[in-house]
Amino acid sequence: MVDEVSLSPLFLSLKTAGIATICTFIAGVLFARFISRNTFPGKSVVEAVIMLPLVLPPTVVGFGLLYLFGKQGIIGKLLLQYFDFQVVFTWYGAIIAAIVVSFPLMYQSASAAFQQYDRNTENAALTMGASRWKVFWTISFPLAWPGLLAGLVLAFARALGEFGATLMIAGYIPNVTDTIPLAIYFAVESGDMVTAKFWVVSIVVLGFTAILWLNWWSAKNMMKHANK
């Protein structure tokens, strides 16, 4: 069966989701840390905007990305004019779509993680002369890590399964933008149910494995802390 199906969608999906997850993790941690630790006018509005892709239809998100990154879009026009670079109908478009739809999950998990522990530990370290950067890496990040890891896994799973926004901005180009969700859709459209079933099983196994591992790790971590 594997010999009859091109594995391009698998490799492309893993690469796209992997890069998107790294970008989402870094941005999510930084944004969540800053917003959760500061109060400023319009904070609730900023958080609502960040969470918006989680509740909007993927096609709406895709339309927004097209509006920004298309040839006549605000960002797309600048990229084309100054760098001769186009995002639409490229693999980079698939990455951007995956980042946008998975970012709210990472931000939400990171924000909760940074608020769940006692901040007095950080304050004590600061009063003893530790820099904020050192406090973050030696105290804040380790204490928040279980929540950050949960967000990381969920963001990866969401990026792996992204369909609507990817189709809108990246299209379906074999060996270029054919992620697993797109491969499933177009296999069904062409009546190739064997290929569709193969990719459905593949992405279900990948998603199930990611969530199963996260549950196992969370249970193990809770037992470790309970025994201390």
User: Helix 8-37 crosses helix 43-55 at what angle (to 10 degrees)?
Assistant: 160
Res 228 pLDDT > 70: no
pLDDT tens profile 63-95: 999 999 988 889 999 999 889 899 999 999 999
| Mean pLDDT over each residue of the chain, to the nearest integer | 89
- Exposed/middle/buried for 150, CB within 10 Å: 0-12, 13-18, 19+? buried
pLDDT tens profile 105-154: 999 999 999 988 877 888 888 888 888 888 888 889 999 998 999 999 99
Res 214 pLDDT > 90: no
Q: Which string of DSSP letters, residue by residue, matches 119-177?
A: THHHHHHHHTT--HHHHIIIIIHHHHHHHHHHHHHHHHHHHHT--HHHHHHH---TTTT
**Nearest alpha-carbon partner for 151 in 118, 102, 97:** 102
pLDDT of residue 1: 47
**Between 71 and 29, where is the model more confident?**
29
pLDDT tens profile 5-16: 688 899 999 999
Q: Specify whether the CB–CB gap between 124 and 192 falls below 8 A.
A: no
Mean pLDDT of 165-170: 93
pLDDT > 70 fraction of the chain, expressed in percent and rounded: 95
CA distance 187 to 193: 7
pTM (whole model) above 0.95: no
Extents of the domains making up the chain: 10-177
pLDDT of residue 101: 96
Residues with Cβ within 8 Å of 103's Cβ and at least 6 positions away in sequence, in order, are: 24, 27, 28, 50, 53, 155
Q: What architecture (CATH level 2) is domain 10-177?
A: Orthogonal Bundle (1.10)
Res 100 pLDDT > 90: yes
Q: Which of 2-11, 98-107, 132-141, 217-226 has the highest mean pLDDT?
A: 98-107
